[in-house]
Amino acid sequence: MPGRKALIRRPGPRLTEGLVTHVERVPVDAGLALRQWERYAGTLREHGWETVEVAPADDCPDGVFVEDTVVMFRNAALVARSGAPSRRPEPAAVEEALGRLGCSVDRVREPGTLDGGDVLKTGDTVYVGQGGRTNAAGLRQLRAAFEPLGARVVAVPVSKVLHLKSAVTALPDSTVIGYAPLVDEPSLFPRFLAVPEESGAHVVLLGGGKLLMAASAPRSAELFMALGYEPVPVDISEFEKLEGCVTCLSVRLRELHT
């Protein structure tokens, strides 16, 4: 039967040095970040997800953003190769963890670059953002890995944010949600819903209509409630300072058979 596992990786001692590209650097409270991460992981478990903690990446400031290290499609894993060279050591321990879970594993190879945060899946459609961290060669390698498994891959331009999923995610009915000023081409999505706050564009589907989302987007939460969903807010303020969001902090393995 399909299981619900989530890969997570705790913040390392260099978290405050994490990369920022589209926001101004502000101080990060490392102690508060760790408490927020622990609460995030606890919330996943409270809603039926088994968390699998990946070995630490203490030399990598951005290691906590484990989503960027791999893209899953069904039982297949494509290990990423970041467009940011400082992040390229991060996937090694993730690949080891996926191997122990029985995943089929492939890798993005030079000259390809791909960050998992640039990949949004809705059903069998896989949207891939091309911008600062993911290039055309990385997109081609993702196509080669996933199209034979039934994926429909759609390229999406990304110029206003760090990753595609910094701009958009999707509701359970496959409606893509985003903060319109940061979305390059909303018309690429068959159904697009604008949300009133930047952090309201990011949801993790917990199951049963429950949406894990940032506590910093109360108006978006009201919008989702009006649509019949149940927001589950978590405070991730310290990670938002590093351009992180709720999707970045885990890799959800929804179709992994155990």
Model confidence pLDDT, tens digit, residues 130-167: 988 999 999 999 999 999 999 999 999 999 999 999 99
248 is catalytic: yes
Q: What is the pLDDT of residue 27?
A: 97
Mean pLDDT in residue range 6-11: 98
In contact, 164 and 120? CB cutoff 8 Å: yes
Q: Which of 60, 163, 202, 245 is catalytic?
A: 163
Q: Is the entire prediction scored with pTM above 0.75?
A: yes
163 is catalytic: yes
**Can you point out the beta strands (E) in 54-178?**
70-73, 76-79, 104-107, 119-122, 125-130, 152-157, 168-170, 176-178
Q: Is the dihedral of CA 232, 13, 164, 4 positive or negative?
A: negative
pLDDT bin (cut points 50, 70, 90) of residue 3 is confident
All residues at 6 or more sequence positions from 25 whose CB lies less than 8 Å from its CB, including other chains: none
Q: Which of 60, 103, 245, 248 is catalytic?
A: 248
Angle at CA of residue 119, ends 98 and 168, nearest 5° = 135
What is the CA 209 to chain-centroid distance, rounded?
19
